[in-house]
Chains A and B, each alone.
Chain A
Amino acid sequence: MYTSNEQEILTGLSTGDQAALQELIGTYFPVLCRFAERFLPDSSLAKDVVQETFIKLWNGGRAFESVGALKGFLFVTTKNGCLNLNRGRERQENRHLEVAGREPEAVDPIWTEMVRAENIALVYAVVRTLPRPAQEIFYLSYEEGMTVKEIAAHLDMKLKTVKNHKYKTLVHLRSKFGNQRGPLLVLLSILLK
C-alpha cells in the first residue's frame, strides 16, 4: 500500500534527515492546505496552520511506528489547528443544521476528507517529480485517454519528442518507485500504453 519512497521518508524523519522532511513537505504541503481549507476557508490562515503542522512534526520527536501513523499525525494535527482557529464558528453551524431539521454528520468529516486528500496525494507525489512537459503529457494521456499521436498534435510537439518524454517518465518512475505492488503499478501501466 505504501511506496518504498514513503518508507524512506519515515526512516529519514526519525534519523533527522532534512532531505526527507523536504520531500514530505513538497508533496503534503499542497495536499494539507487543500484539506485544511475544507475546515478553514481562509486560505492564508489554512497555510499557516499547515506550516505549523510541519513545525510540530519536526520538533516533536519524529519517530512514528508506521506510514499510517505519520499521515494520521499530519491530518489530525492540521484539522485540530483549523478547529482552534474556528472555535466559535462550528458550533454555530451545527446549531443551524439542527434547526433546519438535519443532523450534523454522524461520522467525523476528517476521515472522509483524509481519504479524498490521500487519493490526490498518491498521484500528486508522482506527478510533481516530473518535468513540466512530461506532466502535461501525463495529464492528457490520463485524463483524455489521448494517444501519443493525439498528444503530439494537441501540444504541437514532434511525435518522437512525446514518445521520448513518455519513455523517460517511465524510466524515472521505475527508478524512483521501484518494484511497487499496488496503486503505483497501476499508474505505470497507463504510461505503458
Chain B
Amino acid sequence: MENNPNSNAEYSLYISSLIHRLREREVLNEQEIKDLDEWRKPGGREDVFQELIDRKRFVAGVKEMNNYDGEDAVNTIFSRLGLRTPLQVRRMVSLKRGMAVAAVFLLAVAGVWLLTRRSSAPPPEVVRKDVGPGGNKAMLTLANGTRILLDTVQRGAITSQGNSRVLKTDDGRLAYEPVTKKTTSLVYNTLSTPRGGQYQLTLPDGSRVWLNAASSITYPTAFTGDERIVSITGEAYIEVVHNKDQPFRVQAGDQLVEDIGTAFNINAYSDEPVIKTTLVAGKVKVSSGTATRVLSPGQQVQGKGSMLEMVAGVDVDQVLAWKNGAFSFRNADLPTVMRQLARWYDIEVEYTGPVPAGTFDGEIGRGLTLNQVLQGLAQARINYTIVNSHKIVIRP
C-alpha cells in the first residue's frame, strides 16, 4: 500500500463499502473478495471485521453515536468560527411576580376564563363598549389592483386570475383552482389580514396557508414555473404539498425558507426583534443574508440580517397556538404579550414610564372579548388606563 494518505483514505472507504455490502448479504465479485481477504490479514483487523459483519454488534456501534451531541457541537463550532453572533435573548432580570403573574387563563367552553388565584383587587376598569375578538377577515388584492373584502363576499366563485379560478369555499377559506395548463406569465395576488383578522388560503398546488392577524401573503395565481415562490409579512403557518421538481420557497423579510414537503410556522412581524421559523414536519433550509441552517421537526431558527440561531426543544404546540384558537405564553414579558393582543384586538398600547417587570405563563383564548382579557390583566396587577376602545396606556 502506498504511503499517500489520500489513497489510503480512498482504499479504506472502498473496504468499508465492501464490508457493508457483505453484511447486507449482497454478493461480492472475485476481486472484491480478494481485496477484502487481503485487508483482513494484518494484525488487529480480523477482530474489527468480525464486529462489523455481525448485524447486532454493528448496530450497537451505530446506537453509540447517540451518546454524542452533534447539535451542541454545531453551535459550539459555529460560534468559535464566528459564523454567527449568539443573539442575546433578553430575559427580565427582576423576580417573577409570584403567582399573580403566573395567573393561568383557561378558556372553558363557555368562553369564560378562570384564574388560579383570586385577589382582592378593586374592580378593574373596562372599555365602555366591549371589543369583540378578531375573526375571519381579510382583503384580497388582485393583479390589476382591485381589492375584494373577503368577509363580505359570497361563498362560491369570486373571479378568475391567470390560469386559476378563485373562490370562497363553504367553510370560509380562499382557494385557487387551476383551470388550464397553459403557461402564461405569472400573475400575482395578495391576501392580507387586518388587525383583528385571520384567514386561510389554499394555493393552486393544494398547499395550505393560515394567516395570523396583520399579515399578508403574496403569491402567483398559478405555479407554472420551475419553482413556487411566495412572500409573507407578519405570521403564517404553511403546509406545503411536496413536489421535488418544483421547490417551494417563502420569503419573509430577510429570511428565505426552502421546503422539501413540510409544514412550518414563520413569525416575521416587523415589530418583533427577530424572525422565527419553526419546523413542524419535514425538512427546510433557512437562509438569512449569508447564514444558512437546515431544520428538523421541532427545531426553530431565530434570525435577523445575516445571523441565524438554532433553538432546540421548542414547544410546537405553543408556537401554533394562534392557529388553534389561543395565545400561548411561556416566560413572555409584558410587551410581548401586549403586542400579540394588540394585533388581535386592534388596540394601541402605550407605556408611561418603565415597562412593568415580570414574565407571563399561560394561555388566553382568542375568542374572549377585550374586556375579559383586560380583567385578566388587572388580576395580574397590571395597571392600565383606557383611553378609548382602541387605546390603552400601561402604567408602571
Contact = CB atoms under 8 A, between A and B. Distances in A.
A29 interface: yes
Central interface residue in A34, A67, A143, by most chain B CB within 10 Å:
A143
Contact of A116 (B51, B65, B83): B51
Nearest to B80: A55
Given A22-B294, A72-B5, A105-B42, A120 B13 contact: no
Contact of B6 (A34, A69, A128, A131): A69
A26 B70 contact: yes
B294 A19 contact: yes
Nearest to A18: B292
Contacts of A112: 42, 44-45, 48
Given A128-B65, A143-B56, A186 B17 contact: no
Contact of A1 (B14, B59, B64, B66): B14
A67 to B, nearest CB: 8
B81 interface: yes
B43 to A, nearest CB: 5
Interface stretch (B20-28, B187-195, B317-325, B333-341): B20-28
Interface in B285-314: 285, 290-294, 296-297
Interface string B14-57: 11110111001010000000000001001111001001100110
B393 interface: no
B297 A120 contact: no
B55 A111 contact: no
The interface residues of chain A, by DSSP majority, are classed as helix
Given A22-B74, A23-B294, A116-B52, A182 B42 contact: no
B16 A118 contact: yes
Contacts of A131: 297
A72 B8 contact: yes
A109 B37 CA distance: 17
A186 B24 contact: yes
Contacts of A25: 70, 73-74, 77
Interface residues of B, number: 60
A19 B292 contact: yes
- The number of chain A residues touching the other chain, given as a range, is 35 or more
A115 B8 CA distance: 10
A106 interface: yes
Interface string A116-149: 1011101110011101000000010011000000
Contacts of B260: 175
A79 B268 CA distance: 45
A187 B58 CA distance: 14
Task: Give chain B's interface secondary structure class.
Answer: helix
A45 to B, nearest CB: 14
A114 B19 CA distance: 13
Contacts of A101: none
Interface in B103-132: none
Nearest to B281: A131
B58 to A, nearest CB: 7
A21 to B, nearest CB: 8
A33 interface: yes
A105 B42 CA distance: 8
B63 interface: yes
B21 A186 contact: yes
A147 B234 CA distance: 47
Interface string A4-46: 0000000000000111011101110111011000000000000
Contacts of B63: 139
A75 B12 CA distance: 11
Nearest to B73: A29
Contacts of A123: 20, 58-59, 62
Contacts of A23: 294
B8 to A, nearest CB: 5
B74 A114 contact: no
A54 interface: yes
Contacts of A51: 73, 76-77, 80
A154 interface: no
Rank and list the top 10 A-B pairs by shortest CB-CB distance, nearest first: A72-B9, A30-B68, A68-B10, A118-B16, A30-B65, A186-B24, A19-B292, A29-B73, A107-B42, A114-B12
Given A25-B70, A139-B59, 10 more contacts: A1-B13, A1-B17, A30-B66, A30-B70, A34-B64, A72-B9, A112-B48, A114-B12, A116-B48, A143-B56
